[in-house]
């Protein structure tokens, strides 16, 4: 049976609250996901939380009840608590009825099987966790294998990134690496590295993209560094018809990902 927790000083409440901080996530090896939809996506992907916290309202929804029961059956901790405590744990003024703490998967490049998918997305020095989450969602939509985060990116396991991914975090492999390590790994096997750049006239709809394709998108403000562009097998440009010279990083990634996928039909 779930245990009831009503004190802010409870150790589990303190643990879940701490997971909003990157350092705590690294120490504990856990991250937060909130909301029935995201937790259902996780369950459907074969992943259950180690801790699930919920309000009385949560127990009345059949899917939520299934997730709570499955978590307990798997040896996880289920706690019934108040909306105020859920607010403190999630950091949101209108908390969802369910909140789960999940074990972070390994993020080494060695864990990536490039043959598992024809398309992989690579993000370099992205600072906005919302962009990270949106790119994960795009990756799921196009059937990409996952997201490789290069250099100093925002944390893909932050509450903001998980929320923006809408559950895609649980369907996409995630790896982190510095650029030299990534290039060495990439060149050790098959893979075309495709970058977007304002410095080329090569239209993104013209090339023949190879498989597996690694689509790399640069920092929101600076784009890809010059030496990173030089390493790409192909640079392409999305033409702008208006005054804007470029798209938001997550939107540009979506445009490119669907164009690459369409080229293989």
Q: What is the pLDDT of residue 244?
A: 81
* Encoded tokens for 39: 């937790």
DSSP 40-78: HHHHHTT---SEEEE-TTGGGSHHHHHHHHHHHHTT-EE
- Specify the pairing of strand 98-103 against strand 30-34: antiparallel
- Specify the pairing of strand 3-4 against strand 77-80: parallel
> Quick one: DSSP state of residue 136?
H
DSSP 234-250: EEEB----SS-SS--HH
- The residues with which 203 forms a beta bridge, in sequence order, are 237
> Quick one: DSSP state of residue 211?
S
Q: What is the pLDDT along the chain (265 residues), one digit of tens a residue?
A: 788 888 888 999 999 999 999 999 999 999 999 999 999 999 999 999 999 999 887 778 899 999 999 999 999 999 999 988 888 887 766 667 889 999 999 999 999 999 999 999 999 999 999 999 999 999 999 999 999 999 999 999 999 999 999 999 999 999 999 999 999 999 999 999 999 988 899 999 999 999 999 999 999 888 899 999 999 999 999 998 888 877 899 999 999 999 999 999 9
The beta-strand segments (E) located in the chain are 3-4, 30-34, 51-54, 77-80, 98-103, 119-124, 146-150, 173-177, 192-196, 213-217, 234-236
């Amino acid at each position: 049976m779930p245990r009831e927790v009503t004190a802010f000083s409870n150790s589990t409440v303190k643990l879940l609250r701490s997971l909003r901080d990157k350092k705590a996530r690294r120490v504990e090896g856990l991250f937060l996901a909130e909301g029935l939809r995201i937790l259902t996506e996780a369950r459907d992907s074969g992943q259950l939380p180690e801790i699930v916290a919920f309000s009385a309202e949560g127990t009345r929804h059949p899917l939520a009840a299934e997730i709570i029961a499955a978590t307990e059956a798997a040896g996880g901790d289920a706690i019934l608590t108040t909306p105020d405590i859920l607010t403190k744990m999630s950091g949101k003024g209108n908390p969802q009825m369910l909140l789960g703490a999940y074990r972070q998967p390994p993020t080494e490049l060695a864990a990536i099987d490039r043959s598992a998918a024809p398309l992989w997305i690579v993000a370099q020095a992205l600072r906005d966790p919302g962009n990270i989450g949106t790119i994960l969602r795009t990756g799921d939509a196009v059937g990409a294998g996952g997201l490789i985060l290069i250099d100093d990116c925002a944390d893909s396991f932050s509450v903001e990134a998980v929320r923006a991914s809408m559950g895609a975090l649980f369907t996409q492999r995630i790896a982190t690496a510095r650029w030299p390590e990534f290039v060495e790994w990439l060149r050790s096997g098959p893979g075309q590295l495709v970058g977007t750049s304002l410095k080329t006239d090569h239209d993104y709809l013209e090339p023949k993209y190879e498989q597996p394709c690694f689509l790399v998108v640069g920092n929101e403000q600076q784009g890809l560094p010059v030496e990173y562009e030089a390493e790409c097998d192909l640079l392409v440009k999305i033409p702008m018809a208006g005054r804007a010279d470029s798209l938001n990083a997550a939107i540009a990634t979506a445009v490119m990902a669907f164009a690459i996928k369409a080229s293989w039909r």
